[in-house]
Amino acid sequence: MLSGAAGRRGLQLFVFAGPGLPGFVFSGSGALMSKIHFTLYSRSYCHLCEDMLQALLALRAPDENDAGWFAVEVIDVDDHPELVAKYDELVPVLSGSKDGRAPIQLCHYFLDAGSVRKFLNEGD
């Protein structure tokens, strides 16, 4: 199932439900093709999770055609027992991947803007 709604800063919120499509993806029309992808492991009603998401989105380039554009996927760990086992008390947890490489964990609890900027600038 796929649904959409207008979001902040022209973002669209797509809710995916079904096998292999858990969570939420915040994107513009081309962000899913982005070379940079962040995954935020989150929980419903988690103010730290919302704070981390907003801080992360503030670092994103304003236009999806800019080099600093990235996709953000938000996954509710409580929907996946294996993620609860892995991240439970650490939520929110942010990981990032570039060019399809394996993701690396960048921070938890609060956005480490320095680590995210370093990750974004690596390889430039």
Mean pLDDT by 10 residues, the chain (124 residues): 34 35 41 77 96 96 87 96 96 95 96 96 76
pLDDT the model gives residue 102: 95
Instruction: Give the three-state DSSP class for 52.
Output: helix
Give me the helices (H) in 20-112, please. Answer: 47-58, 81-87
pLDDT the model gives residue 64: 85
Does the residue 17 lie in any domain?
no
CATH number at residue 67: 3.40.30.10
What pTM was estimated for this model as a whole? 0.74
Report the alpha-carbon distance of residue 85 to residue 60 in Å, rounded: 30
State both tokens at 31.
Answer: 């962000």
Q: Is 78 exposed, middle or buried (0-12, 13-18, 19+ CB in 10 A)?
A: middle
Does the residue 3 lie in any domain?
no
What total of structural domains would you count in the chain?
A: 1
